[in-house]
Amino acid sequence: MILQALVQLAEYEKLIADPDFEFKPVAWIVRLKDDGTIVAIEENRDNVNEGKTDKKGKPVKAKWVGRKMLVPMQGVRTSGDAAAFAVDKAEYILGVDPAAKRPEGKLLNRLNLFYDDIQRSADATKDPAAIAVAAFGRHLADQSPAARTALLPTGFLPGELLTFAVGSDPQPLHDHPSIHAYWKGLRSPANSDTPAVAGRRCLITLKPVAEVQLFRKVKNVPGDASGGLSLVSFNARAWESYGWQGEDNAPVSREAAEAAVTALSRLLDPRPTNGQGEALPVRRIRLADDTAIVFWSPKQSREVQDVLDAIPDFLDPPDEVSDVGNLLGSLRTGVLKPLNEPAAFYALTLTSVTGRVVVRNWLESTVAQVQTKLLSHHSALACVRNTPPVKGRPPRNMMHLSELMDSLAAPGRERKIPTVLATGFLDAALRGVRYPLAILQRALLRERSEASSNEWNDHVRRDARAALIKAVLTRDTRLGIQLEASMDENQHHPGYLLGRLMAVLEYTQRLASRGVNASVKDKFYGAASATPAAVFPTMMDLFHKHTRKARDTRPGAVTNLEKLVDAILQNLNTVPVHLDLVGQGLFVLGYHHQRYALYNKADAAELTANEAPAPEGAQS
């Protein structure tokens, strides 16, 4: 079904205008005279980071990308040498390795392979441009390695593609009508001498297949530096069965295979285009260095596509999105307004592993169902934020997907979490099922480890973990727990009440003694959230000392805090010896909600602004 859905997408979006050609970024054009003498190697690329700045306002490092051209379809390169037709890398066109890793013998072999193909096309078509390029190749083969290397233009990057143009003709060689027709003739199944094998039919079209070719490699896979990975391949006897060998174990026709691979490469492309070179909307979300999720619908109505357009920003909004309102609004126009007809929705999670693409998750649903699930996902994550907003910037209500996942990893440059966590989290969001319990476990681990960290970024991470903990507990219907986005005085679970109590005790200490070296949270948070009976008696003794100290200068605030503690204890029959995972999660939420209520002016009006201590981590 995956391949069928991809082929369907290729047809709907007209990704393959011609099955014998594909779009590739061609960075350089070798300009020749009519006799094959080189004139120059012209640049044909753009800096996609031009005009961009980082968070500090400094220009982003240049990233040069070739302009896309419709070029002859390039085959799958395995371990051997294989030249592409008319467009290729410097190793084949110039006999030069920009990385200086290939031996001279291999480079000469690749050079000859490329120009042998050009010579055959020149002999068959008598095209003047092909004749000129073939002459250039013969001359190049006689040159020394140093002379060939000197042809490389300044700034040339390994892996960049080159093509040819002759004289003042703006048309590259592969666009000449005679060369175009020659290439299509080579690719025509009519030229194959292999008869269709009985019982061998394309798994997608069900038509007889004469010859099953290697699947082209999928481009733009996260974590892939080789230029493409295999989605379907049989490279060991263990994968073969019923007497079939290699690709015959999963026969797919050339046309269907190319449509599927082109569609998947388009979905993974951060700047996708169709078969006419027209820009297409982004349909991917990167989850990790080696993992991404792609999604699509074969229904091309504006109503459906508007919803798909909103999904990347909804799940991982850009910094300029300060409120979820507009994005929710765009979703609701599809969620609550019935669609004219059901529209299928597909989502595919892919990871690059040891030279191939691994399918982690596959979802078949409808756009309407996914919209409903995403609204539920947003509701599950809704939680007050204790992070003080940056001065001059409105508070951002939407949590980045990367922000949520990073909060589960140890802080630092190389923040890493298991890929399965990110994929499981997003898969649960799209399916509307329970979030992975491992998210709760890692969130609690990080909460204890970072309890004494009070930089602004630490508060951002705590807000993210609180949202995740709430989502995990709320979505697990087996627990029967209903949680609000802010403090719920009707929530009487011991873990939640003890978390609230700790927030009040910490607040009271800061009211009594500004600038303490170690707060009650710094000293007791880990034990209080796991084995509360061992530390809360001591913490209550400290609370009474702090109230006595603060009563002389802030009697009103102290009285209100004592009433608040009494109200919490009234619903707490006994302090448990230990809290399980659910109780520890509720402890975090109780602390988080109560802290917000204490420091939020609207909820802490009785304490008055001049009596309330400033929250830690405020950033100006």
481 C-beta neighbours (distance < 10 Å), count: 17
Question: What pLDDT is attached to residue 151?
Answer: 94
Q: What is the pLDDT of residues 138-156, one digit of tens each?
A: 999 999 999 999 999 999 9
Check residue 208 and report its DSSP letter.
B
Q: What is the pLDDT of residue 371?
A: 84
What residue segments make up the domains of the chain, in order of their start? 2-51+60-267, 299-345+367-463, 492-607
**pLDDT (tens digit per residue) in 154-163:** 999 998 999 9
Q: 569 to each of 164, 490, 494, 500, how far by Cα in Å?
A: 81, 13, 10, 10
Q: Tell me how far apart the alpha carbons of residues 601 and 619 are, in angstroms, rounded to a whole number.
A: 17
pLDDT number for residue 313: 72
With CA atoms as reference, report the closest residue to 564 among 496, 489, 490.
Answer: 489
What was the pLDDT predicted at 241? 65
For residue 417, pLDDT beyond 70: yes
CB contact at 8 A, 62 and 48:
no
Total-model pTM: 0.74
Lowest mean pLDDT among 8-17, 247-256, 341-350, 583-592: 247-256
Instruction: Identify the pLDDT of residue 237.
Output: 65
H-helix or E-strand containing 470? helix 456-475
What confidence tens digit (pLDDT) does each residue in 66-77 have?
998 989 988 767
Please name which of 301, 309, 299 lies closest in space to residue 330, comparing C-alpha atoms. 309
Q: Which two tokens stand for residue 437?
A: 């319990």
Distance, C-alpha 159 to centroid of its chain: 24
Beta pairing, strands 21-32 & 161-166: parallel
Q: Is the pLDDT of residue 477 over 90?
A: no
pLDDT at residue 468, as a whole number: 96
129/33 Cα distance (integer angstroms)? 9
Q: Using one digit for the tens of pLDDT, what is the confidence trace for 510-528?
A: 888 877 778 889 899 999 9
- Between residues 94 and 258, which one has the greater pLDDT? 94
Report the mean per-residue pLDDT for the chain: 84
Between 189-193, 201-205, 338-342, 409-413, the lowest mean confidence (pLDDT) is in: 189-193
Say whether pLDDT at 613 is over 60. no
pLDDT digits (tens, 9 = 90+) for 236-254: 666 566 666 666 667 777 7
Q: Tell me how far apart the alpha carbons of residues 508 and 87 are, in angstroms, rounded to a whole number.
A: 72
- Cα separation, 210 vs 193, whole angstroms: 9
**Pair of tokens at residue 13:** 């979006």
State the greatest distance between any 2 C-alpha atoms of the chain, in Å, as a whole number.
102
Mean pLDDT value across residues 344-351? 93
Average confidence (pLDDT) over 279-299: 89
**Helices then strands, each counted (H, E), the chain:** 19, 10
| pLDDT (tens digit per residue) in 534-549 | 999 999 999 999 999 9
587 in Cβ contact with 484 (< 8 Å): no
